[in-house]
């Protein structure tokens, strides 16, 4: 079975569209990283406010709560800079197209942590679809990261400027 020129053209168009989505998501992550790393507000009170709100409003998944209370909150400043640095690295990787798969894993890890922190925001007796509807701001980037994880050769990438090792087989 041979690929038609139309199928290859559509596949290339899809790859470029995925590259545009990847870059846009990377820019969003860079904006969030800038706020967390270069401004004092998030690391010195902001993260405590956000996590304290999740804990007070009882939106945290029950088995994740001890981690937030006993590990993150006592070391909130360090976690704030860690999270901001993670967003910076993910954003840079997505914008440049270099190390997209590790960035996708890191971004998915961050989105899962955010989901666990505020999953029950709609209430404990809500219908199942309401949980997902209330978390679209975390679920949509998570799905994009999963798609990017499967992307083998990203388009619009700076990777073409780096020599590939013969051992990589590509």
pLDDT at position 2 is: 52
C-alpha distance from residue 35 to each of 20, 39, 132 (Å): 23, 5, 27
Instruction: Say if CB 30 and CB 91 are below 8 A apart.
Output: yes
What are the sequence ranges of the domains in the chain? 13-152
pLDDT at position 142 is: 80
- Could you list the pLDDT tens digit for every one of the 170 residues in the chain? 455 666 676 677 777 888 888 899 999 999 999 999 998 899 999 999 999 999 998 888 889 999 999 999 999 999 999 999 999 999 999 999 988 888 888 998 998 898 888 877 666 677 777 777 777 777 778 888 877 776 767 776 777 666 666 655 54
Find the distance separating the first CA and the last CA of the chain, reported in whole Å.
24
pLDDT at position 135 is: 75
pLDDT at position 124 is: 66
**How far is Cα 14 from Cα 108, in angstroms, rounded to an integer?**
22
**How far is Cα 134 from Cα 123, in angstroms, rounded to an integer?**
11
pLDDT at position 157 is: 75
- Nearest alpha-carbon partner for 22 in 156, 159, 161, 158: 156
Half-sphere exposure of 113 (CA within 13 A, CB side): 14
Q: Residue 79 in 3-state DSSP?
A: helix
């Amino acid at each position: 079975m041979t690929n038609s020129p139309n199928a290859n053209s559509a596949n290339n168009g899809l790859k470029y569209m995925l590259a545009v989505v990847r870059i846009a998501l990377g820019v969003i992550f860079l904006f969030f990283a800038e706020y967390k790393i270069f401004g004092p507000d998030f690391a010195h009170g902001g993260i405590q406010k956000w996590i304290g709100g999740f804990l007070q409003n009882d939106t945290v998944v029950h088995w994740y709560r001890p981690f937030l209370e006993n590990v993150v909150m006592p070391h909130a400043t360090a976690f704030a800079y860690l999270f901001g640095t993670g967003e910076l690295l993910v954003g840079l990787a997505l914008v440049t197209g270099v190390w997209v798969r590790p960035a996708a894993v890191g971004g998915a890890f961050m989105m899962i942590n955010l989901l666990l922190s505020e999953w029950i925001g709609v209430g404990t007796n809500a219908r199942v679809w309401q949980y997902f509807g209330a978390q679209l701001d975390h679920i949509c980037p998570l799905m994009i990261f999963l798609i990017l994880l499967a992307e083998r050769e990203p388009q619009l990438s700076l990777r073409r400027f780096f020599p590939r090792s013969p051992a990589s087989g590509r």
